Amino acid sequence: MPDVSRIEEANVSRLGLISIQERVPDSFSSWTVDFRVDGRPARLTCDAMPKYGGVPHGLDGDIATALIDLYVETGSPADGLLNTSAYQILKRAGLDDSGRYYQNLRQTLFRLRTATYTASEAWRDHRRGNWTTVTFNYLEGLEFTSGDEDLGLSRSSTLKIRLAEPIVRSIRSQYTKPLDLEFLTSLDRPLTRALYRLLDARRYPPEDPTVPLPSFTVNLMDWAEACKIVDQRSNKIRATLQGAHEELMERRYLSGVDYEGRGRTQKLTYRFAETDGARPDPPAVIPALTEELRRHRVSLAVAQRLIEEFGEAHVQSRLEKFQRLIGAGYRVRSRSALLVDVIRDQDGKYPDSPDPRPVPASADAGDARSAARTSYMPTLAEAVDGPQPLEAQVDSALKTLQFLLRERLSVSEYALLRMGLIVGRPDPLEATRAASKAKVDGTLDAYTADLLLLLGELRAQV
């Protein structure tokens, strides 16, 4: 089975909110799918705006997957906020960094912001173990800077995005499924990538989205509705899917695609290559170390990848270091993000032997800060072996600063910061180190004030 290094929210992937078709008419601005869940009627609807190109479709699925992946990487904050850049989104989606794709990204974001979904008795509440009704826009908030006179997006654009509350709630309750992002982004066509996402979701039972099934059978017309295919004549459905089927079989994700029957009664069976002809293995017993990482809200996929990459002894040692840091009063917005960073750290950012004694509840905040003063706080930009190109340095530094400073800077100020990083004011490496140290010292507000002064000088010179 391929190395699965990412996760996606299981409701979104199973319901298939985004049409697999690469192009749809602008007039295709709504759809309704009726189905049954646990023997009860359920319905999924989408109402979109023709001015933005109809219902979400095609590349929108790649962008939506990238946004969730970036959100999870930042520690899945409860407010659902993601500070990022247009360049980072395209890069994560595996799309080309060219003007056309920035135009597509803008349209996608507006479609995801304005299209309204209603899942009636079809949205899984993982914590309560039941099905609920939710209404939401994929994006609840969207703010960005324009990098050109056409008010569009460009490489220099920064964005503040708020994901839908139901999606955020599901991710934080760990209602997720594995996602082989490397394989996904290696597929050639948007339609193939969209069908892969939908198939991979149906491969996992909704009650336990961790154990894959060997095959999946569905009525052809029902599948056309699930894929949100516009022309639902049986021959047109088969023609639409054929190219994606061939690519997925060539790439050995599918071992076969079988049709049975005629017309609207046809059935379609997908046979998955990894488990073809065999029952799936029973769920493995999760090791104690993996469970301990999950207790600190690290997702199962990330926990398993860390242990595989660094070994149990290293992860156990770094887990103990993380616990000592927290006990010593180390304050951080997301403990799970800090834990992952402590495990991955190769630069000695964290003290080997901090005072293990917990800081008393009555202790002054300054005492708590000084307990960890010898280190500087986690960055999301990881250490590299050699010098990076300027674009990569700026992208890495901006990503770290967005994570640390969050809403202390506006979207336009982040855009100005990106320009400053390019010209070395401030220097990308020094800026991230200073911000990390300020996080440890509890002086991020002061650091931000100094940074804004520098950016003000830069703005005056532009």
Q: What is the pLDDT of residues 83-128, one digit of tens each?
A: 999 999 998 988 888 778 999 999 999 999 999 999 999 999 988 8
One-letter amino acid at 287 equals: P
Task: Assess if residue 277 is contained within a domain.
Answer: no
Task: Assess if residue 379 is contained within a domain.
Answer: no
Same domain, 84 and 209: yes
The domain boundary, picked from 243, 272, 301, lies at: 272
Task: Assess if residue 383 is contained within a domain.
Answer: no
Task: Assess if residue 152 is contained within a domain.
Answer: yes
Q: Is the pLDDT of residue 341 over 90?
A: no
pLDDT > 70: percent of the chain? 84
Element (H, E) at 123: strand 116-125
Question: Is 159 in contact with 411 (CB distance < 8 Å)?
Answer: yes
φ/ψ of 26, rounded to 5, equals -60, -30
What is the SS3 assignment for 433? helix
Other residues' Cβ atoms within 10 Å of the Cβ of residue 327: 15
Same domain, 303 and 451: no
Q: Quick one: which of 133, 239, 249, 233 has its CA closest to 199?
A: 249
Give the C-alpha distances (Å, rounded to integers) separating 364 from 199, 357, 369, 433.
Answer: 54, 15, 9, 25
Residue 98's pLDDT is what?
76
Lowest-confidence range among 117-126, 159-168, 290-299, 382-391? 382-391
Same domain, 352 and 424: no
The domain boundary, picked from 371, 399, 425, lies at: 371
What average pLDDT does range 388-411 have in this prediction? Answer: 81
One-letter amino acid at 213 equals: L
Same domain, 84 and 205: yes
Same domain, 234 and 337: no
Alpha carbon of residue 24 to chain centroid: 25
Instruction: Supply the range of the domain harboring residue 336.
Output: 291-371
Same domain, 305 and 354: yes
Same domain, 365 and 394: no
Task: Assess if residue 424 is contained within a domain.
Answer: yes
* Mean pLDDT (the chain, rounded): 82
Q: How many CA atoms lie within 13 A of 342 on its CB side?
A: 27
Task: Assess if residue 124 is contained within a domain.
Answer: yes
Domain count, the chain: 3
Task: Assess if residue 1 is contained within a domain.
Answer: no
Write b or e for each residue in 255-272: b if 16 or more Cβ atoms lie within 10 A of its Cβ, otherwise e. bebeeeeeeeebebebbb
Same domain, 329 and 257: no
Alpha carbon of residue 221 to chain centroid: 31
Same domain, 248 and 167: yes
Same domain, 219 and 346: no
Q: Is the pLDDT of residue 299 over 50?
A: yes
**DSSP class of 406:** G
Q: Is the pLDDT of residue 262 over 60?
A: yes
Same domain, 297 and 359: yes
Task: Assess if residue 378 is contained within a domain.
Answer: no
The domain boundary, picked from 320, 338, 371, lies at: 371
Confidence of residue 295 (pLDDT cuts 50, 70, 90): confident
Element (H, E) at 132: strand 130-137
Same domain, 21 and 115: yes
What average pLDDT does range 138-155 have in this prediction? Answer: 84
CA distance linking residue 213 with residue 407, whole number of Å: 43
Lowest-confidence range among 43-52, 179-188, 217-226, 386-395? 386-395
CA distance linking residue 21 with residue 228, whole number of Å: 8
Q: Is the pLDDT of residue 357 over 70?
A: no
Q: Is the pLDDT of residue 361 over 50?
A: no
CA distance linking residue 217 with residue 199, whole number of Å: 11
Cβ-based neighbours of 72, under 8 Å, separated by 6 or more: 6, 7, 171, 299
Question: Is 69 in contact with 256 (CB distance < 8 Å)?
Answer: no
